[in-house]
Amino acid sequence: MTKDTRALVDELHNAYRDGDGERVAALIHDDIDWCIHGPDHVFSFEGPRRGKAQVMEVLATIGFADGRAIEFKEFSDTFDVVRQALGASLHVPAIAV
């Protein structure tokens, strides 16, 4: 049985929010290709990661205290990306040639 993408992301977010590392790990594929886009020289948790071990390691550096999430900040700089993630279609106006 497979989950749809939105349900999987919601479950992953909830597990992360709850500080449930075992549940987070269970929802991440062993060969995951993970990237938080941004200046990795400023925020060490940004940049590409490959595999469950690297992802779990970077998630732990974001701010786990006593095995629980204590802080997480992520920046999205594109309004259209957010709209699409929420399920809205992207309206691209016709361009005069």
pLDDT tens figures, 3-41 = 688 888 889 889 988 888 899 999 989 999 888 877 777
Give the per-residue SS3 of the chain. CCCCHHHHHHHHHHHHHCCCHHHHHHHCCCCCEEEECCCCCCCCCCEEEECHHHHHHHHHHCCEECCEECCCCCCCCCHHHHHHHCCCCCCCCCCCC
pLDDT over threshold 60, residue 68: no
Integer-rounded Cα Rg, in Å, for the chain is 16
pLDDT of amino acid 97: 43
How sure is the predictor about 96, in pLDDT bands with cuts at 50, 70 and 90?
very low
- Structural domains for the chain: 5-85 (3.10.450.50)
**Residue closest to 26 by CA, chosen among 65, 51, 52, 60:** 52
pTM over 0.75: no
